[in-house]
Amino acid sequence: MTDTFDHRSLPEDELLAAEYALGVLAGADRAAAEQRIARERTFARLVAEWEERLAPWTAEIVEVAPPPQMWDRIAVALPAQAQGGGLWHSLTFWRGFSFAAGALAAACLTALIYLGSITQQQPLVASIEGGGHRHFVATIDARRGTVAVVPAAFSADPTRVPELWLIPADGKPRPVGLLRADETVTLTLPAEFAAFAKGDAVLAVSLEPPGGSTTGLPTGPVIATGKLTSL
Amino acid sequence: MDLDANRSLIATALGRIPAGDRAALQTVYRLTSAKLFGVCLRILGERGEAEDVLQEVYVTVWRRAADFDASRASPMTWLIAIARNRSIDRLRASRQNRKMDPIDAAAEIADTAGGADSALESAQERARLHGCLDGLASHERAALRGAFFDGNTYEDLAARMDVPLGTMKSWIRRALIKLKACLEQ
């Protein structure tokens, strides 16, 4: 077999960068390449150049619209931006804000309970889904301020617990409580969040260390979400 | 949409993310999620897993947007690299229960010129890459495809094409050297 290839070669680093960009490395080789990308600018540059060379190949890949609830899942999973600044990121501001908002919400809740008792408000339900499966079904009784959550096809993970979050229109998750994979849990909706439990809000479930998130925001992956709708 | 307009929209939105602008991330998501979901789905082959990885991809974009340098890289290339790498990580983590069909290089269709969408990549760059890929031997092209689109490792490719691991490594490395030489012509 004749080979017209002229055997010009490339430096070892450049070949390694190309192999990484192609995706063919595994295990320790892939991990070592990733460490070099993080530490060595020149090597990271070589990888970026190979990514650029191969990128036009992805034009072959057909675009597929993700499911409609995908953005909500992502929004819930976003951590606070570490390098960001300003009022939005000030913990002191949020503490003050949540205190003020809490007082306001408590006042609203009182009004809501009163209104609920006279209008016989309908319960809100959400089918909490992710990865093509329904994980939980939640029913909010705004009149009583409770959330009943029934596990559907949630498989337990011994190291992490499912935690329920309420995300109103502002996109900021509020912790509601921990769920169980094997039985229905009825949680009391914190009074300051009750006003958020309406048709435009989303319920989400994240996986957290035992005892739940200690930061007030999801720390683990958000595995399922569902929009609240009136029955 | 016009290629340059789209590129600059994505780059501008990426630039606003480090300040904590969620709406900017949502703009990036709106403009790129169908492409990136396609990439995840192509490598992982399963919707549920592709959805989980897509979430990780945009969380990574949120965390690392400050690393993106619009003067040096194309935003789409940067995003696709994140989507491919997160998908490959997931694939490697769950690889034991995956079944792979053999690759028959002889049956490998030489048609690499087809493009599913043209909105995000320049037609000229695409034609150049495909011209160079067509210049490779069919077994080399088949091996590169298996790595790029199926996330195969050297071991996977050696098994799928029924050659020793050392042979597969030299095929891929020679193909990469030839590809670079051709693209620089």
Q: Please report the domains of chain B, with CATH numbers, ordered by start residue.
A: 3-97 (1.10.1740.10), 105-183 (1.10.10.10)
C-alpha pair distances (Å), B66 with each of A3, B9, B14, B17, B60: 46, 16, 8, 8, 11
Residue A65 in any domain: the answer is no
Q: Partners of A163 in the beta sheet? A: A178, A206
Q: Please, are residues A133 and A153 in contact by the beta-carbon 8 Å criterion?
A: yes
Residue A6 in any domain: the answer is no
**For position A168, which CATH number holds?**
2.60.40
Please tell me the distance from the alpha carbon of residue A27 to that of residue A17, in angstroms, as a whole number: 15
Give yes or no: residues A53 and A78 share one domain.
no
Give yes or no: residues A164 and A110 share one domain.
yes
User: Which carries the bigger pLDDT value, residue B115 or residue A18?
Assistant: A18
List the pLDDT tens digit at each of the 231 positions of chain A: 444 444 468 899 999 999 999 999 999 999 999 999 999 999 999 999 999 999 999 988 999 999 999 999 999 888 876 444 444 444 444 444 455 555 555 555 555 444 444 444 567 888 888 877 778 888 888 778 888 888 887 776 778 889 999 988 777 888 899 998 888 888 888 888 878 888 778 899 988 888 888 888 888 888 888 888 876
Give yes or no: residues A54 and A152 share one domain.
no
Q: Please, are residues A167 and A151 in contact by the beta-carbon 8 Å criterion?
A: no
**CB-closest option in A66, A78, A223 to B22:** A78
Residue A196 in any domain: the answer is yes
List CB contacts (< 8 A) between B35 and chain A: 58, 61, 63
Residue A7 in any domain: the answer is no
CA angle B132, B1, A60 (to 5 degrees): 30
C-alpha pair distances (Å), A145 with each of A192, A231, B110, B142: 11, 16, 64, 60
Residue A4 in any domain: the answer is no
Give yes or no: residues A40 and A137 share one domain.
no
pLDDT at A22: 97
Query: pLDDT tens digits, residue range B52-74?
Result: 999 999 999 999 999 898 888 89
Min Cα separation A89/chain B (Å):
8
pLDDT at A20: 97
Domain of residue A110, residue span: 73-230
Give yes or no: residues A50 and A124 share one domain.
no
Give yes or no: residues A88 and A190 share one domain.
yes
- For residue B35, what is the enclosing H or E element? helix B22-44
Q: Where are the beta strands (DSSP E) in chain B?
A: none
Residue A1 in any domain: the answer is no
pLDDT at A119: 44
Which of B35, B160, B177 would you mutate first to test chain A, the one with the most A CBs within 10 A? B177
Residue A126 in any domain: the answer is yes
Cα B177–chain centre separation? 19
Min Cα separation B20/chain A (Å):
5
Give just the sign of the alpha carbon dihedral B71, B73, B75, B76. positive
Please tell me the distance from the alpha carbon of residue B115 to that of residue B105, in angstroms, as a whole number: 21
pLDDT at B118: 42
- What is the rounded radius of gyration, in angstroms, for the C-alpha atoms of chain A? 24
Residue A21 in any domain: the answer is yes
Q: Please, are residues B161 and A31 in contact by the beta-carbon 8 Å criterion?
A: no
How many domains does one find in chain A? 2
pLDDT at A87: 42
Prediction pTM value: 0.64
Give yes or no: residues A19 and A87 share one domain.
no
Alpha helix ranges (H) inside chain A: 12-22, 27-39, 41-54, 70-77, 91-119
Give yes or no: residues A34 and A140 share one domain.
no
Give just the sign of the alpha carbon dihedral A114, A119, A120, A121. negative
Q: Please, are residues A149 and A188 in contact by the beta-carbon 8 Å criterion?
A: no
**CB-closest option in A48, A77, A84 to B55:** A77
Give yes or no: residues A53 and A158 share one domain.
no
A185-188 and A146-151: which strand pairing? antiparallel
Give yes or no: residues A26 and A138 share one domain.
no
Give yes or no: residues A77 and A129 share one domain.
yes
Give yes or no: residues A162 and A83 share one domain.
yes
Query: pLDDT tens digits, residue range B130-184?
Result: 999 999 999 999 999 999 999 999 999 999 999 999 999 999 999 999 999 999 9
CB-based contact, A49 to chain B, within 8 Å: no
List CB contacts (< 8 A) between B20 and chain A: 80-81, 84-86, 88-89
A179: nearest Cα among A190, A165, A164: A164
